[in-house]
Every structure is written in C-alpha cells, then in structure tokens.
C-alpha cells in the first residue's frame, strides 16, 4: 500500500505545514537573498566583486514577459517564469554558472549602466515585487534594490543574457 503524506497527517495539517514551509522559504529569501553558500573563487585580476549577486523580477511588460532571475553569490542561476507573488519561494536551480559567465554578467550590468542605476535609485523593499522591474544587486559588500521601468534599456541586455544562460528561448528581434 502506497502512503500519501496527507493520509498520515490529515489534509488540514498538510496545508498548515505547506504554508509554514512556504513562509520560511520566503523569509529566507528576504533575510539572505544571495544564499548561505560560500563565495565562489574569483581570479585576483578579475574586476568582478566576489560577493556579486543579482535578482531581477519582471512583470508582464518586461522583456520576455513575467519572470524572476536570480544569480546567487556562489554562481547558482535560478529562474522562474510567471508572475512573482509576495509569498513566492526562491526560484528553482537551473544551473551553475562558470566564473567567466559570472564575470560576463557583472561586466554587462556594469557597462550597460544597470549597476549604477540600481546604486543611484531610491532603495525599495526587495521582497515585494513592483510594477515593471525590481532589481536587487549585491556587490562590494553593499546591498541595493531598486524599481525600474521594465523597458529600461539598461535592463534589457542583462535580461537577454540571463535568458541565454538559463537556456530559455531567445527573444524576438523586436524585443531587446
């Protein structure tokens, strides 16, 4: 006989435990959105900060539609498509990025002006998705979150690269 978890605990207890686990995962994202993993090794001559981490949440108007992209400080790439809610858990792991891919992302975010836009924007609560794009960036031991328009050109190239790294479908030529 195959046992189902709810047959041992009951449906109400199962729903309660599921809600508690979802809440704990959401709280873990707010407290430590870059994970608890050790920082990845970076070459001494690399301009990429050793604590570089990035999270971009896009609403439906963003390039490629609603999605949540997360690059943890250890290089783990996580992606979820669809609308992010306040209680959404951390996106699932897609793949481990190489040091070169992480350096490329940092360089792109830096060259495109995304990094300076986030640093210059008024801080927002990164746990609450906003219309457009919510960008969370960690670099050089500083954490910043900013709300940007989803069509901000400083955001587009980074989103296209994150989609490529996540093996997602390329965006049409009409979208950045």
- Concatenate the DSSP letters of all residues of 55-123 into one string: EEEE-TTSTTSSEEEEE-TT-EEEEEES---TTPPPPPEEEEPPHHHHHHHHHHHHHTTHHHHHHHSPP
Number of domains in the chain: 1
The answer to whether residue 172 is domain-embedded is: no
Q: What is the pLDDT of residues 121-159, one digit of tens each?
A: 776 665 555 678 889 999 988 888 888 888 888 888 899
The answer to whether residue 2 is domain-embedded is: no
Domain range for 64 is: 53-165
The burial class, CB within 10 Å (0-12 / 13-18 / 19+), for 26 is middle
Q: What is the pLDDT of residues 34-49, one digit of tens each?
A: 444 444 444 444 489 9
pLDDT reading at 93 higher than 80: yes
Which has more confidence, 32 or 75?
Answer: 75
């Amino acid at each position: 006989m195959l046992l189902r978890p709810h047959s041992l605990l009951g449906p109400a207890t199962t729903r309660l435990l599921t809600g508690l686990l979802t809440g704990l995962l959401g709280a873990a994202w707010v407290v430590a959105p870059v994970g608890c993993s050790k920082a990845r090794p970076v070459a001494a001559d690399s301009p990429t900060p050793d604590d570089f981490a990035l999270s971009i949440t896009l609403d439906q108007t963003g390039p490629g539609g609603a999605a949540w992209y997360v690059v943890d400080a250890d290089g783990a790439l996580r992606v979820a498509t669809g609308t992010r809610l306040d209680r959404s858990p951390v996106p699932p792991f897609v793949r481990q990025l190489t040091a070169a891919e992480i350096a490329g992302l940092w360089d792109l975010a830096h060259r495109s002006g995304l990094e300076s836009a986030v640093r210059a924007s008024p801080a927002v609560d990164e746990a609450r998705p906003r219309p457009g794009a919510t960008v969370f960036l960690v670099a050089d031991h500083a954490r910043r979150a900013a709300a940007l328009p989803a069509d901000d050109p400083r955001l587009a190239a980074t989103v296209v690269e994150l989609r490529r790294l996540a093996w997602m479908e390329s965006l049409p030529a009409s979208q950045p």
